[in-house]
Structures are given as structure tokens and as C-alpha cells.
Structure 1
């Protein structure tokens, strides 16, 4: 059933429109966005789709075709941050954030369906937020730009849902374009669309969803964010973005806490890896990006300590099978890894990873190509 037909079945009338917003995979630059650093995501073809209509009675009704739950009804004047509203907190948080910013949203009927894998580190929550924000922006004529919608969606996740994420996921969902990766400076939200046509180079970027999420990840993101902030304070800078790569050795000598030191080393070096990747892509040397990805994984594993055995196995098995490079992507402790490989080797690499998982007794991973796709848009 289409999302439009699902809306009609639920609410008894046709929606005013249908919108879509994608999940994302991050090529390089992890745990850098809340440090005002550089990131380079690309949108996936997997999307959250929302059929939406306005209401004038102060009520928001939200429903997801994916949860098996009924319609959640909330009053726009009674939306409270950090209330336990489950999955509905993501669209409801956007309504709250829009109203808190002074935008006259008087209610909505929303029906959602998503093909973005949940729990895979591919920003399924950001897709829900951005598609809701775009729909309400269009319906209420708010005139907000895509970056402004992304910032509001981030505020919904930070303040309403209670997840202290950076802005990368929402910016990727809102601003990516087909056939490109998004080079994003999270300090000023400056963006550059970087051509990323791997097929033309005879390459592929595989996403390997490990289908696991370890409990260790609960709270670990916030702890690492706090550690990065402590490092910035100790170095006398506002954020770690202000520490240049050439200054890293000196900065590390000034830090006494070994954990904070390792977090700082990761963030500063990953910012540098983003810039190296941009330079390689600009030079047309796409294959040389592979080793940079593998360097990034080692840093995430060893310095930031956010990897897990399944993610490490993807990287090891893929590279042993001839991949050009691989790394975990997203928050870690499970979720997904990316693998850059020759297109001709994709089946070999996929088979090797599957066999390695079977030998280790792990659930078979889900593997699919990351095709750079369009950001949020109206579809009907």
C-alpha cells in the first residue's frame, strides 16, 4: 500500500502532499560534527516517506506503517521535551522545534513509512525528522531553507528526543544531491557538492549492515562528546576544530588524561582525513581514498573505541578479499561499515564477508551498494 493510500485509510481523506527524505552513509569524518569539524556524507536511496496534511485544532496525529502501533495523538501546546513518546518523538519534536522558533504550526496529520534500516547507523531518525520538517515547511509556507530545516531537525533530536547528535545526519538528509557526496563544514554549515560517480570509475561503495547493536553504545556517544569538550577546554579552544593537524603532537603533549588525549587524536586526525579525501577526489584519484577509510577505522577502533568485533571483522575480511579500504560508519558499537572496492570484486568481497560472519557464528550481514542519491524533496 502506498503512503498516500495508507493516509486515506487512517484519516479518511487524502493528504495535501507526500514528501521523502533519505538516510545517509558517511564516507569519512566520524564524531567530528559536534566538534565543528568536517564530514562527508552521501544520501542513500532508502527514504522515509510522509503523507501530511495541516490541522487547525492544535492536534498532531502521527502514524508509522513500520511500527505496528496505532495513531499517536498529541497536542501542540502540550508537547514536552524528553517525554516518553517512543518513535513519535522524532516527528513530534520537529513540531515542537518549529513552534519554539516562532513558526505558526497549528497541527498536522502525518502518516510515515520508511525503507531506511533502523539500528544500522544510517540515520533513520534524521530521515523522519527532515521529512516532517520539509512537509510542514511547505504546507505552512514557512520559507525555511534546507540547512535551516536541518538545524531545526537537529534541535528536535537534541532537545526533544534527548540525543546529543551533531548536525551531519540532518544536513545530509536535507541537502545531499544525486551523484554527489556532501562536503560539509559543520562550523558554518558551508556545503560543497562533490561529484562521486563511482560506477564511472569502475568502483563501488558497499554498505555492510552487521545487524547488531551492542548495549555498550547506550550513553557512549554522550560520553565521547563530553570527552571531546573536555579536551577543547584543556587546550583553551572553543572546539577541537580549532586544533590544526600540524599542531596535533603539541596538543597531545598538553593533555594529561589518556582517554581525552585519544579522543582528541581521533577528531583532529579525522578532520585531516576528510580534507585528504577531498583532495584525492578533486585530483581524480578515487582509489587512493580506500587506505584513508581504513586509517579512519583504525582510529575509531583504537582511539575512540567505538567499534566492535563485527565491524572489525567486516573491515578485515573485506580488505583481505581485495577491497581498497573499509571502515565502520556512524556511531559504532554495531550498525554498518562501508567498503570501497572495484566493482568487479563486489561479489567476491560480499561473499568473503558473509563467510567470515558465518565462521564467527554471527548473523548474516545485509550488504548493498551505496548509490549517492537525492536529498529531501516533495514527491506528490
Structure 2
């Protein structure tokens, strides 16, 4: 999320710390959606590939009141000001800053359901033309900029709330596509559908194995607790912005690679196609493609290994994923590399950066008995390198978006 520089109308207030301090409507309900950690499968989602994320026990919670007009107003615990827009005037050119994640969901629902008639999900889209306005207060303990998808947590909390309050008969996979459209067109970040799918479909103690082409999803038992393993998040506190820079460049490279290889998506290729790709593509594009093809294989291998051997056997796959992102996709940064290397040297089963890259977090799968030692070693390594002190904490796989 970014600080707002919004062009939608905004009513200023100072010092509000709650829904009641910002709005004068009555609370009708609260909804929450989790952030996510991607166990493995990075940048494969927008290439129609495979991913294995898990929803985590860090939530964005929204408190909602119903209005007697068509205004959608939003405020938060992390930014002064009330941002508002009419449901009759939703326009992505009038959305900016963090409030675009909220307004974008309402806009994307309109786009997906259509202005008239009945959509493919069986929901009467007339509901959207008569829907009441809402006051929405946003609070979150999902770290911003850490690669844990604080943005999707907002989107999915809002999506399930609007679904309930506007009586929409839609599925969770449909809402994931709504969130992706909002992020792509309202926010301007060319992300795939993984983050929203994890936040909506997550289950406790499990990961979501998602085919991003078919959108088929399967819940996979992780077995971390039974194996006395914990997943540590190492937030480097190096902030990144998906809407600009390297993320966009990597997506363009993948599209170029698919086009020059004569396929509609890199999903249509496998590691057996790499020798031909080396002949057809320039070196940089080849390395981008190699990451995607090998990462897809690593996701499939991780799912198989979890089923056949358990979580203690997936370490080498996590390590290889990081090396591929560092060397072939070139989305790591020195802080992430140091976090991963230090965790690996201090007893982690495996470690890798997670998220879009260029900052954010690394994850380390560690024996519970080694958690404190890994944490201490990472903090000491960052201090010795003169880096900003990271935040290190354990996360646990949790249920997806829900009414509280």
C-alpha cells in the first residue's frame, strides 16, 4: 500500500482512531482477510503457472456501516483523512493511493457483473445499481511492504463484505478475479491472481495449491506442527512498489519469451524446452524464462514431496527457488540474500525470498528448537553489514477471508 495522493473527493479529519471517530453511521459488521506467504512459486502466477501460497495469521479487518445514499467512504487507522467516491461515478482514473484498493473492488465488481442483466455466477447485477453506500474503516496487522500481500488482504476483506452486504451470489474464485482486476486496473500493479486466491481460499495448517490457468485449487496439508517446524518471516524492511519498475519489466520479459517461443503463455513450455529456448532467446530473456519453467517444476515437486516425505524434505527446493530468483530472475536484493544465507547456515531446513522481489521478506523453514538461534543470527548479520534491523516473526497457516 502507498500513501494516498488521491484525486477522489476527500474529507479531512484529524486524530480518528476508530470507526466511530471517523463516521456517524452504525456498525453493521466486521470482516477480515489474511495476508499471505508464498511457500514456493514466484512470478509464475501471471504466466498461468503453479503456486503454493498459504494464508497467514495476520489480518486486515474492516468495520462497515451502511449509508442512506450512494457514497462509498473509507478511512483507516494508518492514515488521516476520509476518502469518498460515489458508486455512480466509479472511475479508475479517479482512484489513487491506498484507497484505490477499496474503491477498485467496487469498480471491479461492476465491471465483472455488468451494468445490466445476470452474470455468469447467477447474481442479479441490478443489485449493484441500487446498492447502498458504505462507510468502511480499515485496520491491519499485515506488515506493509513486506511482501506479505497487505494489498490483497484489504481487497479480499472488502470483497467478502460487499458480497454479503449487497447480497451477491458469487464464488470465492470469482472474487479472486475481482481482486486481480482491481489491482491491475485501479491500482496499476500487473499482478497475477495468487495473492487474492490465498487470502480467500486459505485453510488452517494448509497451503493452497493453485493452477493459475484453470484456477483449480487444492488444499494441501503442510504438516509443519507435527514435524516440529516453524515458518519464519524475515522482513528486511526494504520497501518495494509493484506498480513501478522491475516487476513490470519482468512481466514484459516473460511475455516476450512466450511470444518468441511461439506460445501464448510460458505455461505451455516445460524444462525440456530450455535447450531450444537457449537458441531462440537473448540471454536475459532466456534466464527469465528459465526461472519460470524451473519454478513451475519446483512447485509440483514441493507438493509431491509434502505428500510423500513430509515438510522436512522440501528444503532443497526452497533453496533452489531463491537461487533462481537471485540469478535468473534477478529480483533479490543484498538484504534478502543475507537473510537467506544466514538462515541456511544456522539450521534452517530451507530458505528463500518470497513475494514480488526488490525488497520485502524472506522465509525460512526452521526446526522449532532453532527459531531463536536463526533469529539472533539474522539480526547479528544485518547489524554487522550495516543494514536496517529486520523484523523476524513466525507465521502459521490460517483460514481465509471471513465475517468476524
- TM band (smaller chain): over 0.9
Q: Deviation of residue 106 (structure 1)?
A: 4.0
Measure, in 2, the Cα distance between the counterparts of 1:139 and 1:284: 44
> C-alpha offsets along residues 132-185 of structure 1, whole Å, 9 cap, x if unaligned?
010000111101111111110110110111111000001111111111001000
* SS of 2:332 mapped into structure 1: coil
- 1:139 alignment partner in structure 2: 165
- 2:326 alignment partner in structure 1: 301
Which range is displaced more, 145-154 or 205-214? 205-214
Q: In the alignment, is residue 254 of structure 1 matched against residue 280 of structure 2?
A: yes
Measure, in 1, the Cα distance between the counterparts of 2:260 and 2:371: 45
Pair 1:215–1:156, CA change in 2 (3 A): closer
Please list, as runs of the form range in 1=range in 2, the aligned pairs for 1:88-103 lying within 5 A after superposition: 88-101=99-112, 102=114, 103=125
Q: In the alignment, is residue 312 of structure 1 matched against residue 323 of structure 2?
A: no
Query: Pairwise CA RMSD of aligned residues?
Result: 1.6
- 2:42 alignment partner in structure 1: 30
Could you tell me whether the CA contact under 8 Å between 2:50 and 2:209 is conserved in 1?
yes
Could you tell me whether the CA contact under 8 Å between 1:19 and 1:376 is conserved in 2?
yes
Could you tell me whether the CA contact under 8 Å between 1:117 and 1:124 is conserved in 2?
yes
TM-score (norm 1): 0.95
Structure 2 runs not aligned, ≥5 long = 1-16, 115-124
Pair 1:82–1:221, CA change in 2 (3 A): farther
Could you tell me whether the CA contact under 8 Å between 1:217 and 1:332 is conserved in 2?
no
- 1:338 alignment partner in structure 2: 363
Residue of 51, 73, 84 corresponding to 1:61? 73
TM-score (norm 2): 0.89
Measure, in 2, the Cα distance between the counterparts of 1:215 and 1:115: 19
Measure, in 2, the Cα distance between the counterparts of 1:214 and 1:208: 15
Measure, in 1, the Cα distance between the counterparts of 2:380 and 2:253: 37
Which range is displaced more, 11-20 or 231-240? 11-20
* SS of 2:236 mapped into structure 1: strand
Q: In the alignment, is residue 321 of structure 1 matched against residue 346 of structure 2?
A: yes
**Which consecutive aligned stretches of 4+ in structure 1 deviate over 6 angstroms post-superposition?**
none
Q: Deviation of residue 13 (structure 1)?
A: 3.4
Measure, in 1, the Cα distance between the counterparts of 2:54 and 2:337: 22
Residue of 142, 146, 149 corresponding to 1:120? 146
Measure, in 2, the Cα distance between the counterparts of 1:143 and 1:325: 42
Residue of 169, 175, 179 corresponding to 2:205? 179
Which range is displaced more, 177-186 or 99-108? 99-108
Pair 1:242–1:215, CA change in 2 (3 A): closer
* SS of 1:267 mapped into structure 2: helix
Measure, in 2, the Cα distance between the counterparts of 1:182 and 1:202: 21
- 2:12 alignment partner in structure 1: none
> C-alpha offsets along residues 103-135 of structure 1, whole Å, 9 cap, x if unaligned?
414421111101100010100011111110100
Could you tell me whether the CA contact under 8 Å between 1:44 and 1:371 is conserved in 2?
yes
- 2:91 alignment partner in structure 1: 80
Q: Deviation of residue 341 (structure 1)?
A: 1.3
Q: Which has the higher helix share?
A: 1
Could you tell me whether the CA contact under 8 Å between 1:207 and 1:369 is conserved in 2?
yes
Please list, as runs of the form range in 1=range in 2, the aligned pairs for 1:1-380 lying within 5 A after superposition: 6-67=18-79, 69-101=80-112, 102=114, 103=125, 104=128, 105-213=131-239, 218-255=244-281, 257-379=282-404
Could you tell me whether the CA contact under 8 Å between 2:315 and 2:351 is conserved in 1?
yes
Pair 1:99–1:274, CA change in 2 (3 A): same
Measure, in 2, the Cα distance between the counterparts of 1:341 and 1:98: 41
Could you tell me whether the CA contact under 8 Å between 2:223 and 2:311 is conserved in 1?
no
